[in-house]
Amino acid sequence: MTCLPAHTDKKLGLVIDLDTCVGCQACVTACKEWNTGGHMAPLTDIDPYGGDVDGVWFNRVHSYEHMTEMGGRTVNFPRSCLHCETPACVTVCPTGASYKRASDGIVLVDEDKCIGCKLCSWACPYGAREFDTDVGVMKKCTLCVDRIYNDNLAEEDRVPACVAACPTSARHFGDLGDPASAISQLVAERGGVDLMPELGYRPTNKYLPPRAHTQRAASVPAPALEPVRAEGGFLGWVDRMLSH
């Protein structure tokens, strides 16, 4: 059923902190590793040891240079499904394979219904959809739907694989529909943004922009150093200090 639910009970999603991401690819392979044996298994790799290598990945990390009047900054940028509130990838699907869950807002693909028309990947502005040419169906991030409710995992492990793996703590998970949730408060505090808001897909995932130089709590209000004013210069100062 590709009509969107009028309302979802939760809006589960991720928040990615671009101020902290070092581009280490931990979330990328953690995602690949979990999901290649998970709900959408496998994440096929074509020509894995050859020149035309091309695999299915639900999470990819780009690297950009952001040049402003303040100078340049290198920004590492993880990109995955944003689990939009109005995802056209769902509504364009002719078969009902793509759907948005009414309970938690996760956008999923029912592989058994997918005919591999690829239209959803055209409709997604973010490049979140990944076609598995071997199986002939579209795959995508499941927000680790087979982890976050998984009774066979310890409770503290019931988070998406990318969030669990991230070594710099740059990834967050929770209910973005609940303004009181820790993740919503983080977004509010750090001015989290939507990607391509002008297209109106209303992504659930938010990105925390890099702190601008001036906004960083880290700037140190250090007065310039002055040479010691002691007789005999520095050595005189040392003597005076030791005599105290």
Report 113-152 residues binding another protein (CB under 8 A): 113-119, 121-127, 130-138, 145-146, 148-152
Sign of CA dihedral 174, 32, 28, 122: negative
Footprint on residues 199-218 left by another protein (CB under 8 A): 199-201, 207, 209-210, 213, 216-218
Return left, alpha or beta for 181; rule: phi > 0 is left, psi -120 to 50 is alpha, else beta.
beta
- Least gap, CB of 121 to another protein (angstroms): 6
Q: Which of 89, 124, 120 is nearest to 195 (CA)?
A: 124
Determine which residue in the list 13, 83, 85, 175 makes contact with another protein, applying CB under 8 A. 175
- Least gap, CB of 124 to another protein (angstroms): 7
User: Is residue 190 involved in binding another protein (CB under 8 A)?
Assistant: no
User: Is residue 182 involved in binding another protein (CB under 8 A)?
Assistant: yes
- Least gap, CB of 190 to another protein (angstroms): 11
> Which CB sits closer to another protein, 85 or 146?
146
C-alpha 118/C-alpha 137 separation (Å) is 8
Determine which residue in the list 96, 179, 188, 231 makes contact with another protein, applying CB under 8 A. 96
Return left, alpha or beta for 35; rule: phi > 0 is left, psi -120 to 50 is alpha, else beta.
alpha
Determine which residue in the list 13, 43, 82, 83 makes contact with another protein, applying CB under 8 A. 43
User: Amino acid letter at 211?
Assistant: R
User: Is residue 6 involved in binding another protein (CB under 8 A)?
Assistant: no
Q: How many helices (H) and strands (E) does the chain have?
A: 6, 11
User: Is residue 81 involved in binding another protein (CB under 8 A)?
Assistant: no
User: Is residue 38 involved in binding another protein (CB under 8 A)?
Assistant: yes
Determine which residue in the list 1, 179, 188, 202 makes contact with another protein, applying CB under 8 A. 1
User: Is residue 188 involved in binding another protein (CB under 8 A)?
Assistant: no
User: Is residue 82 involved in binding another protein (CB under 8 A)?
Assistant: no
Determine which residue in the list 33, 179, 188, 202 makes contact with another protein, applying CB under 8 A. 33
First-residue to last-residue Cα distance in the chain:
82
Sign of CA dihedral 118, 120, 126, 128: negative
Q: Which of 16, 11, 12, 10 is nearest to 172 (CA)?
A: 16
